[in-house]
Amino acid sequence: MLTTTFRKLKEHIACDEGYKKLGKNLGGIRKYGKDTPIKLLQILDSNGLDDTIWCLRATTENSDYLSRKFAVMCAERVLPIFEKAYPEDKRPRECIETVWLFLEDKATRQEMEAAGYAARSAAWAATGDAAWDTAWSAAWSAAWSAAGDAAWSAAWDAAWDAAWSAARSAEQKEQEKILRKLL
């Protein structure tokens, strides 16, 4: 179960609007307590999907694995759209498969990076096409959702961008179902 606190949200520079909304829904920040754990499911119920995804970067526990898993699950949802437009291009699918292997410690960082670059190339090849947004989301999400390990802080920013990109491309209700299942 992933949690955060009002203190952590402030440290990560949460937006004022979302911070205040959460505080109000939890009965007040002072009353609730700045260091009292807040379940991400509470944030999902209070503030919605976008704020919950943002909060993955401000959790008390390490959320890297869950964030990456969420990103790749969202990428999988849009993959059929890319494959319909580009049935011969298997790079995004191969990248997603490599991400799953990486998450299971069955692929190396180098294999992950290689698959990521190939998937990004597939996305760039789709530039100008109607499928560009979908291709970009699928490839970028899969490519970067598992970039690096928890100790490599720069990878977190890339993983966060991937999660955000994947989240924006799939339907909100489906994303929420995925996230609820993971949380």
Same-domain pairing of 47 and 81: no
The boundaries of the domain holding residue 147 are: 64-182
The angle, 0 to 180 degrees and rounded to 10, between the axes of the packed helices 40-47 and 16-25 is 100
Same-domain pairing of 15 and 82: no
Reply yes or no on whether the pLDDT at 153 is more than 50: no
Q: How far apart are CA 33 and CA 37, in angstroms?
A: 9
Please tell me which of 26-35, 143-152, 173-182 the model is most confident about, judged by mean pLDDT: 26-35
The pTM of the whole model exceeds 0.85: no
Reply yes or no on whether the pLDDT at 159 is more than 90: no
Same-domain pairing of 32 and 71: no
Backbone CA torsion sign across 167, 172, 174, 180: positive
Note the pLDDT tens digit of each residue in 32-81. 999 999 999 999 999 999 999 999 999 999 998 898 888 888 888 888 88
Same-domain pairing of 22 and 111: no
Tell me what percent of the residues of the chain surpass a pLDDT of 90.
Answer: 37
